[in-house]
Amino acid sequence: MSSENTFDVIIVGGGPGGYIAAIRCAQLGLKAACVDDFTGKDNKASLGGTCLNVGCIPSKALLESSHHYEQLNHGLENHGIKVSGVKIDIPAMIKNKDDIVGRLTGGISGLFKANKVTSFHGRGKLLAGKKIEITTNNNDVSIISGESIILATGSRPIDIASAPIDNKNIVDSTGALDFDKTPKKLGIIGAGVIGLELGSVWSRLGADVVLLEAQDTFLPAADTKIAAEAKRQFKKQGLDIKMSTRVTKATSKGKKVTVNYEDSSGEHTIELDKLIVSVGRRPNTDNLFAPEAPIELDERGFVEVDEIWQTNIAGVYAIGDLIRGPMLAHKASEEGVAVAEVIYGEEPEINYAVIPSVIYTSPEIAWVGQTEQHLKSAGEKIKIGTFPFAASGRAQALGDTTGMVKMISSVETDEILGVHIIGPQASELVAEAVLAMEYSASTEDLALTIHAHPTLSEALHEAALAVDNRALHIPNR
């Protein structure tokens, strides 16, 4: 095999784990190649994986557009701004989303060129001997070889037999990003992060949204107090959230969807214009490895790796949604950097205890660390401080006072164990908490940190003070 087809590292997958790994490998002087098969709307190669193409970025673009529309219709009266005759142009909104995606995915191609990463467009399969078979859309096949391999093919939506996707009336999260008009009645199977975000988009634009969630607990990964407030706010916005609900059958006919579901009160039927299936994601391992290169999977289909992200085959690594842990782009990116450095000979670390989670609804929800319910069930002695945005001067000026900051620390050491936020710009505010916890900060450390006034971040300062009943802008209990 010619040297042109031999690389120090081959990355299979061009999403936030894969493309970051490729760039970091190149920065370290390794000859890197990235194999990715995603094709954009223009039928051309489009790097960035699910995140940039049909996940994080496009959904946030739609959330932002729909938020502007909502604000113009209902959110500016208190500021003395009166607007009438506001209209939404759905095709223009979708085009803006697509333009943003195009700029960012094109930016990755530019970064690959700048860092001398070789890019292959096609489906990659691991063969024996750390070789990768590449199959193009035209079924042309070629083989390249690497000293090390990083598998980063991400995940895809889970299908359910009771609601088969037809990409017309019944869609997955990808299809929900490209509606040509607002459905009058929209159903969503699943009230998790994706379901809530997509539901928020189309609810703001005028859809009557019902979410059918099989679990008994709303947002079980979130702190119970934050989840309860979130559910209250979403219901106030008009989202109909039905818990402990199992969809038994969804039938698409003409321009309608008929959904049969069961709950504690019996069997029910509803008719919808569109149905989004959003019940989770599963790792993309189908046809990823040849029989002669068997990669071990766990009982849930995730790739088994050791403490340096190496699979059962020496020199073959896996990151991101392929392995256990939260399916988050920023988690995959950190693993991409770490594995590149492992291959180079360094000993990187990732602090999985301080990976933040965010839900980009309105109000935004963000958290890092452990929840009150988890700590109490583990027998930890904890202190809790909360501060409502209603007492924040900056939030009052913004006209967005929903929610709170909740901070949890250890009774013995005062170390911050968890920070949970629901409210304006929670996605940005949580970064301060992540940094504090990365350095094992105490609430006293945060209380001694001077925050600019007036800012939303003062709510974290006040929550830290409230842990020891020292809050200055609310009564202490």
Cβ–Cβ < 8 Å for 276, 250: no
Q: Which of 67, 68, 453, 473 is catalytic?
A: 453
SS3 label, residue 170:
strand
Give me the residue label for tokens 């991409």.
336
Give me the residue label for tokens 């965010």.
358
Per DSSP, the residues of 346-410 read: ------GGG--EEE-SSSEEEEEE--HHHHHHTT--EEEEEEEGGG-HHHHHHT----EEEEEEE
Per DSSP, the residues of 274-318 read: EEEE-S-EEE--TT-B-TTSPPPB-TTSPBP--TTSB-SSTTEEE
Whether a cis peptide bond, with omega within 30° of 0, leads into 388 is no
Q: Report the C-alpha gap between 120 and 7 in whole angstroms.
A: 13
Q: Report the C-alpha gap between 324 and 301 in whole angstroms.
A: 9
- Name residue 256's amino acid: K
- Name residue 41's amino acid: K
For residue 388, what are the contacts with CB-CB under 8 A and spacing of at least 6? 401, 403, 404, 474
For residue 375, what are the contacts with CB-CB under 8 A and spacing of at least 6? 382, 408, 417, 418
Q: Does the annotation count 453 as an active-site position?
A: yes
State both tokens at 48: 């960035």
Pairing of strands 316-318, 141-151: parallel
Q: Report the C-alpha gap between 97 and 110 in whole angstroms.
A: 20
Q: What is the DSSP letter of 264?
A: T
Task: Tell me the HSE value of 167 on the side-chain side, using a 13 A CA sphere.
Answer: 1
Whether a cis peptide bond, with omega within 30° of 0, leads into 454 is yes
SS3 label, residue 34:
strand
Residues annotated as catalytic (active site), given as ranges: 453
